[in-house]
Amino acid sequence: MKNIMVLGGTGFVGAHVCEKLVRQGFNVTVPTRRRRNAQRIQHLPSVTVLELDVHNAAALTQAAVGHDAVVNLVAILHGTPAAFDKVHVTLPQALARACAANGIERVVHISALGADDQRPGTAPSEYLRSKGRGEAIWLHPAQSAPALDVTVLRPSVIFGAEDKFLNLFAKLQAVFPVMPLACAGAKFQPVWVEDVADAVVRCLVRPVAGHAAQALPCIIEACGPDVFTLKQLVQLAARLAGVNEGRGRPVLALPAALGRLQAWMMELAPGEPLMSRDNLDSMRVDNVSGGQLPGLGTLGIRPGALEPMAAQYLRSGQSNQGLLGLRNRAR
């Protein structure tokens, strides 16, 4: 296995996946709608950037020619039901057909903690419902579809130098004197982006740690070692970023009705919203491991703790890790 196609390779997680694949000696193909989106990875050796629309099924099938495996990282956090369906369901359907047409059997699909391939309709948000339906494409194919070797990774919220999570909370508190916060008690088990990228690569290059003859589990939960409430994460982001001399800002937990009003107003603002009502619906389910499915330890990964990792980048605002970090330090 030498040639890997990575959908979503220009994104936050995708850039780290591409770097690790290059380090392992793979040839990596990254399709993207606009070549300029690939500035973070096009300097990596053995990465080929293809300018095409991955939602064009014919173009996607042609792009998959000659590849041994596919990684799908494409996702959105905000949108209409139709937009979620296009990205999280229709695209996996087209990708599955592209794999079948080209004899590609190995697939790593990045989903989300809280998705349910068995009962996707029971999830509280359209984001999670569409994620569950997308998983079902791979895990429960039609009888006429060829069998694929698929691993689904379900990460909790992912943190890292380029994240739009801890960095966002730190920046907001640098501007506003108080932090009104919806769903302040929602729980998360944040996972480091390097660990998620490492998991993707290990799913491609080796079987379960210590069990060479076993196949990988179909679903793996990718979570960090610690559980935090949203309020604790907001406070931690400010402290590590040195906001207000490390004291951060007062966090005002909003009642549910006010939280939804705040999210609705954010949806009306131009550009991508900071928060949506669908995001609040997702947080009705704690974003933590259920303990019933294999975790990163199955892949031989001991997940990194949030605080020491986040402390490295929240003050400087840039990564010091790997080839991407080397590029940042050279700027």
The domain that holds 138 is classified in CATH as 3.40.50.720
pLDDT at 321 over 90: no
Task: Tell me, yes or no, whether 314 lies in a domain.
Answer: yes
> What is residue 292's predicted lDDT score, i.e. its pLDDT?
92
Dist. CA 69–CA 6, nearest whole Å: 9
Task: Tell me, yes or no, whether 47 lies in a domain.
Answer: yes
Q: Are residues 172 and 57 in the same domain?
A: no
Angle at 10 between CA 140 and CA 129, to 5 degrees: 35
Per-residue H/E/C for 12-38: HHHHHHHHHHHHCCCEEEEEECCHHHH
C-alpha distances out from residue 223 to 110, 160, 199, Å: 13, 14, 11
Mean per-residue pLDDT, 204-222: 69
Least Cα distance to 107 among 218, 14, 223 occurs for: 218
pLDDT at 316 over 90: no
What's the domain count of the chain?
A: 2
Where a domain ends, among 177, 203, 222?
222
Q: Average pLDDT, whole number, for the chain?
A: 91
Tell the burial category of 233 from Cβ atoms under 10 Å away from its Cβ (0-12, 13-18, 19+): buried
Q: Are residues 235 and 218 in the same domain?
A: no
Q: Are residues 71 and 155 in the same domain?
A: yes
Confidence of residue 75 (pLDDT cuts 50, 70, 90): very high
Q: Are residues 148 and 177 in the same domain?
A: no
Confidence of residue 142 (pLDDT cuts 50, 70, 90): confident
Name, in order, each residue with C-beta under 8 angstroms of 28's C-beta and a sequence gap of 6 or more. 4, 5, 6, 9, 18, 21, 22, 44, 46, 47, 48
> What is residue 194's predicted lDDT score, i.e. its pLDDT?
97
Dist. CA 142–CA 241, nearest whole Å: 50
Q: Are residues 91 and 237 in the same domain?
A: no
**The two structure tokens encoding residue 52:** 């095409």
The SS3 assignment for 273 reads coil
Dist. CA 298–CA 203, nearest whole Å: 10
Q: Are residues 196 and 261 in the same domain?
A: no
Least Cα distance to 131 among 149, 145, 114 occurs for: 114
Q: What is the 8-class DSSP label of residue 147?
A: P
Where a domain ends, among 176, 198, 222?
222
Dist. CA 205–CA 238, nearest whole Å: 38
Dist. CA 231–CA 237, nearest whole Å: 10
Task: Tell me, yes or no, whether 260 lies in a domain.
Answer: yes
> What is residue 141's predicted lDDT score, i.e. its pLDDT?
86
Give the CATH number for residue 311: 3.90.25
Q: Are residues 136 and 236 in the same domain?
A: no
Q: Are residues 170 and 255 in the same domain?
A: yes
Torsion from C-alpha of 81, 98, 149, 46, nearest 10 degrees: -100
Confidence of residue 148 (pLDDT cuts 50, 70, 90): confident
Confidence of residue 151 (pLDDT cuts 50, 70, 90): very high
Task: Tell me, yes or no, whether 131 lies in a domain.
Answer: yes
**Number of Cβ within a 10 Å radius of residue 168:** 14
Confidence of residue 233 (pLDDT cuts 50, 70, 90): very high
Task: Tell me, yes or no, whether 329 lies in a domain.
Answer: no
Question: Which residue range forms the structural domain that includes residue 10?
Answer: 3-159+190-222
Q: Are residues 100 and 197 in the same domain?
A: yes
Where a domain ends, among 177, 207, 222?
222
Higher-scoring residue by pLDDT: 215, 175: 175
> What is residue 326's predicted lDDT score, i.e. its pLDDT?
43
* CB hemisphere CA count around 5 (13 angstroms): 25
Mean per-residue pLDDT, 103-128: 96
Dist. CA 207–CA 131, nearest whole Å: 25
Dist. CA 135–CA 150, nearest whole Å: 10
Angle at 77 between CA 128 and CA 44, to 5 degrees: 115
Task: Tell me, yes or no, whether 299 lies in a domain.
Answer: no
pLDDT at 211 over 80: no
> What is residue 319's predicted lDDT score, i.e. its pLDDT?
46
Q: Are residues 16 and 133 in the same domain?
A: yes
Q: Are residues 183 and 100 in the same domain?
A: no
* Edge-to-edge strand list for the sheet holding 27-32: 47-51, 27-32, 3-7, 69-72, 106-110, 149-155, 219-222
Q: Are residues 278 and 133 in the same domain?
A: no
Task: Tell me, yes or no, whether 313 lies in a domain.
Answer: yes
Task: Tell me, yes or no, whether 330 lies in a domain.
Answer: no
The SS3 assignment for 101 reads helix
